[in-house]
Amino acid sequence: MKTVSKLENLFTVINETADLIAKECQLSYIEAVAETGENLFHGSILQEDLSEITKKNLKRKYDSINLSTFEKEEIRKAFQIVILKGLKEGAHPNHQMTPDTIGLFLGYLVEKFVGNQKTLTILDPAVGTGNLLTTILNYLSKIETLESYGVDVDDLLIKLAYINANLQEHPIQFFNQDSLSRLLVDPVDVTVCDLPVGYYPNDVEASNYQLKAMEGHSYSHHLFIEQSIKHTKENGYLFFIVPNSLFETKEAPKLNQYLKEVAIIQGFIQLPLSLFKDEKHGKSILILQKRGSESKQPKQALLAQLPKFSNITAMNAMMKQIDQWFSENK
């Protein structure tokens, strides 16, 4: 007989209670996931208009698990699976989560670059459901004091991110707003972002950016890079998931010139094409350091093309190359 894991148990409870709430409250599945997440966090059933039978069923399912016995990563993964199910079924087909393998690799890179810092502030200006940010925070568990900020314009996604953070006990400050309008976030040590790729429809707001297009709509991912640099401290690091074609478009020369003025390119790491349905949608990790009194140009930028994450031998060889780069440049 197959043994059911703790993670599977937690997923089952969240999934089944979301189904119960969705049916009775006439909500979409993803909205009900947010509701059941709130119930789990508060330890009580917050929906007042449920029937007594449904409340009893919910209580029985909630009582079958004890969140305090779960690791943060177990909670994150279980919550991630139900959110993925909801995004696939619901009205958010354009919202895609950053794959876990990329999130964990980003966590590794952030840790390597920040070194032995005891305190760290970190921002994700396109936080979505909070999965990428909390993956990185879980990886940075050795840092004594972590202050985190997440921004997203989508009110449902930011609610899911807030619940996701609460369940994992991450005190993240969230801002539900257009990330490219004025942010009330002080500059941080590290910015991470899976950049939203496409055109930004608000030409008035875009006019405040150096990287605005001379005609037509501006690239939102270019504006996100500029906004992120603005909200990162001098000498701080930025980690972006970007299209492989970032430096090949008609707006690329302007982006190149801007980056030369305000930042140092520390690395450009191409992710395995096997992660993407179509090679033309392939992505890379762009690593920048904002210029400052202590910023340093590496002898050579960290340039790499990652093998499949499942290829353990090739990945171990790649990690040795990356470690060697750090020993020579940091």
pLDDT tens digits, 170-209: 999 999 999 999 999 999 999 999 999 999 999 999 999 9
Asked if residue 250 has pLDDT above 70, the reply is yes
H-type alpha helices, the chain: 6-25, 29-42, 52-62, 72-89, 100-114, 131-139, 155-168, 203-206, 220-230, 252-262, 312-329
Task: Provide mean pLDDT across the span 242-252.
Answer: 92
278 CB-side CA count, 13 A = 3
d(CA 169, CA 119): 18
pLDDT score, position 31: 93
Sign of CA dihedral 259, 260, 264, 266: positive
Asked if residue 7 has pLDDT above 70, the reply is yes
Q: How confident is the model at residue 88 (pLDDT cuts 50, 70, 90)?
A: confident
**Residue 320 to residues 101, 267, 300, 305: CA-CA distances in angstroms?**
18, 16, 16, 14
pLDDT score, position 63: 94
pLDDT score, position 92: 53
Q: How many helices (H) and strands (E) does the chain have?
A: 11, 10
The b-or-e profile of 59-86 (16+ CB within 10 A means b, else e) is eebbeebeeeebebbbbbbbbbbbbebb
Residue 163: exposure state from Cβ atoms within 10 A (0-12, 13-18, ≥19): buried
- φ and ψ at 192, to 5 degrees? -125, 145
Quickly count: other Cβ atoms within 10 Å of residue 296's Cβ.
12
Residue 94: exposure state from Cβ atoms within 10 A (0-12, 13-18, ≥19): exposed
d(CA 193, CA 10): 28
Which domains are delineated in the chain?
A: 6-89 (1.10.150.470), 100-329 (3.40.50.150)
pLDDT tens profile 95-126: 667 788 899 999 999 999 998 889 999 999 99
Q: Report the SS3 class of residue 293.
A: coil
The b-or-e profile of 216-246 (16+ CB within 10 A means b, else e) is eebbbbbbbbbbbbebbeeebbbbbbbbbeb
DSSP string, 131-170: HHHHHHHHHTTT-SEEEEEEEES-HHHHHHHHHHHHHHT-
pLDDT score, position 90: 63
d(CA 290, CA 280): 29
- The mean predicted confidence, pLDDT, of the chain is 92
